[in-house]
């Protein structure tokens, strides 16, 4: 698995998890979904993402694009 695909997996799990928690537990969990969306926008402009830094340290190979 490449770094880019792992990032997509982490974001997908967080978003799906927060939506499921909002549906089955408490609607306030949707704040996590909103924060994840805001972070994705911020990261697209600045390039700063703590998850990417952690995944790079784990030694995952990076592959340009989604070929």
> pLDDT digits over 39-64, tens only?
999 999 998 998 888 988 999 888 87
Does some domain include residue 61? no
pLDDT at position 1 over 60: yes
Does some domain include residue 64? no
Mean per-residue pLDDT over the chain, rounded: 91
What is residue 30's predicted lDDT score, i.e. its pLDDT? 96
Does some domain include residue 27? yes
Report the number of distinct structural domains present in the chain: 1
What is the DSSP-derived secondary structure letter of residue 64?
S
- Per the listing, tokens 């799990």 go with 13
37 CA to centre of own chain: 9
For the chain, give the percent of residues with pLDDT over 90: 61
Structural domain harbouring 19: 3-56
Does some domain include residue 35? yes
């Amino acid at each position: 698995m490449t770094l880019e695909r792992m990032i997509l997996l982490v974001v997908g799990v967080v978003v799906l998890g927060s939506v499921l928690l909002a549906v089955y537990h408490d609607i306030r969990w949707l704040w996590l979904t909103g924060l994840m969306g805001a972070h994705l926008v911020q990261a697209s402009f600045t390039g700063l993402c703590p998850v990417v830094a952690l995944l790079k340290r784990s030694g995952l190979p990076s592959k340009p694009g989604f070929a």
